[in-house]
Amino acid sequence: MFSYKIVLIGNFGTGKTSLIRRFVENSFSEEYLSTIGVSISKKTIKNATVMIWDIEGHTEFKPIFKQYLLGAKGFIVVADLLRPESIEQIPQHIEFCHNVVQDAPVCIALNKSDMPHELTEDSLQKIKQSSPAIVEVLKTSAKSGDAVEELFLKLNETICEQIS
């Protein structure tokens, strides 16, 4: 068994912590708790122990520390389907990650899919095609659990293929 690190990145309030909690503990809380700095969770998937780093949301006033990204084997960029500005910033998040860890695979979580949203299939395809590093784009819901496990398992599968 081997272990590796993935990092969830995205704007504040997009649901990074909730996605991790749903995946690791199969739970959800309506209570909003902002991550300060970094929080690390661990889960064993098949033959790998995944260290999941949840870093505080990026705002234009507070930069993310590049040190949090060092050593990551993959990234999940989380955007909020109800906040178009968080979706528009996906390319900047990918670029930031790849400035620290080149060519690491990226999955995109378009979170809060349980709520009414206006993302079209055309927009979804544009996101998928925006970077060759993107291995999957999924509409997720930490609340209902929709596509959460699929998200983490797809990234795990891609990382395991690269390592072996």
For 4-43, the pLDDT digits (tens) are 999 999 998 999 999 999 999 998 777 756 555 578 999 9
pLDDT for 55: 87
Task: Supply the CATH classification number for the domain 2-163.
Answer: 3.40.50.300
Alpha-carbon distance 140 to 15, whole Å?
Answer: 10
pLDDT for 105: 98
pLDDT for 35: 59
AA letter at 102: Q
pLDDT > 80? residue 154: yes
Alpha-carbon distance 97 to 121, whole Å?
Answer: 26
Q: Would you say the pTM of this structure is higher than 0.85?
A: yes
Q: What are phi and psi of 110, to 5 degrees?
A: -95, 95
% of the chain residues with pLDDT over 70: 92
What is the per-residue pLDDT across 78-124, written as a single tens digit (0 to 9) for each?
999 999 999 999 999 999 999 999 999 999 999 999 999 988 888 88
What is the per-residue pLDDT across 51-88, written as a single tens digit (0 to 9) for each?
999 987 765 545 667 888 999 999 999 999 999 999 99
pLDDT for 59: 52
pLDDT for 63: 61
pLDDT > 80? residue 156: yes
pLDDT for 61: 44
CB within 8 A of 79, min separation 6: which ones?
10, 11, 14, 86, 87, 89, 90, 108, 109, 110, 111
C-alpha 80: how far from its chain's center? 11
> In 3D, which of 56, 35, 50 has the Cα closest to residue 149?
50
So where are the chain's domains?
A: 2-163
